[in-house]
Chains A and B, each alone.
Chain A
Amino acid sequence: MDINSASVIAAALAIGLAAIGPGIGQGNASGQAVAGIARQPEAEGKIRGTLLLTLAFMESLTIYGLVVALVLLFANPFA
């Protein structure tokens, strides 16, 4: 397997694996937040604020994987 093929496979694995955990986490957090808003509509602002902060942190994990994948594809240091 040459370096280009290996890079493409590595990029696919990087973004794919990096999206699994945050995807599950974001789904859980959003679902719980919507349930919380339905139970306590008076706390909607607080719940959405906390969700915004947690989603920003969770999504950065996907972003790390995305950066690695894009660097491997477009600026590969080994190719």
Chain B
Amino acid sequence: MSSQSPESIPKQEDGLMTLEESQEVLSSDTLATESPPQGNSMEEYYQLQRTLLLTTLVLMGVIFFPVWYFYSLNTAFNYLIGSAVGVLYLRFLGKDVERLGQQNQRIGSKGLGIFAVLIIVASRWQQLHILPVFLGFLTYKVAIIFYTLQTVFNSGETKENDS
């Protein structure tokens, strides 16, 4: 911590200050300025959430057209529905993790409920097929693997540059 200017150190009424008192003032000032920047720390988490959601949406768009070309439009829409539910699930999971430690609640129950409803509807309704819907739902996982690999390679490059 940088040294304080003499003007900033509060003085007693008689104009003198003992060594212990000045150290106390300094240490309390140091604690106040070094307290964690809570907003910046959570900003990193929000950035991760945004990156994952954006990557999942991009993958949705990229995979939709090959599925349409190689299979059919119906299968592609099945895939799209599954991946949309995957995005929703990821959003719910992100919200649950954000609230972890603040509220007493179970993690991921809402997302699992939505997924269960999706699979039941897919198995009951003739227009939907289970496999493309399920594989579409797993798109968020591909986005997570993408992000993890990106982080690993970026940290490897940073280490090489440092050395």
Question: Which residues of A come within 8 Å of B, CB atoms?
Answer: 26, 30, 33-34, 37, 41-46, 48-49, 51-53, 55-57, 59-60, 62-63, 66-67, 70-71, 74-75
Q: Which residues of chain B are near A45, meaning CB under 8 Å? A: 40-46, 48
Q: Which residues of chain A are near B123, meaning CB under 8 Å? A: 70-71, 74-75
- Prevailing SS type, chain B contact patch: helix
Question: Which residues of B come within 8 Å of A, CB atoms?
Answer: 36-38, 40-46, 48-49, 52, 90, 93-94, 97-98, 100-101, 107-108, 111-112, 115-116, 119-120, 123-124, 130, 134, 137-138, 140-141, 144, 147-148
- Prevailing SS type, chain A contact patch: helix
When C-beta atoms are compared, the residue in chain B nearest to A44 turns out to be: B41
Shortest beta-carbon distance from A78 to chain B in Å: 14
Taking A42-B37, A70-B120, A74-B120 as contacts, is the C-beta distance between A53 and B144 under 8 angstroms?
yes
When C-beta atoms are compared, the residue in chain B nearest to A37 turns out to be: B101
The 8 Å CB contact of B138, one of A48, A60, A66, is A60
CA distance A41 to B48 in the complex (A): 18
13 contacts between A and B (CB under 8 A): A30-B107, A37-B101, A41-B38, A44-B36, A45-B40, A48-B45, A48-B100, A53-B148, A55-B108, A56-B141, A60-B138, A66-B115, A66-B116
Shortest beta-carbon distance from B128 to chain A in Å: 11
Q: Which residues of chain A are near B42, meaning CB under 8 Å? A: 44-45, 48
When C-beta atoms are compared, the residue in chain B nearest to A45 turns out to be: B44
User: Is B100 touching A56 in the complex (CB atoms < 8 A)?
Assistant: no
A-B contact count (CB 8 A): 93
Shortest beta-carbon distance from A12 to chain B in Å: 14
Q: Which residues of chain A are near B52, meaning CB under 8 Å? A: 52
CA distance A34 to B107 in the complex (A): 13
Shortest beta-carbon distance from A64 to chain B in Å: 9
Q: Which residues of chain B are near A74, meaning CB under 8 Å? A: 119-120, 123-124
User: Is B119 touching A59 in the complex (CB atoms < 8 A)?
Assistant: no
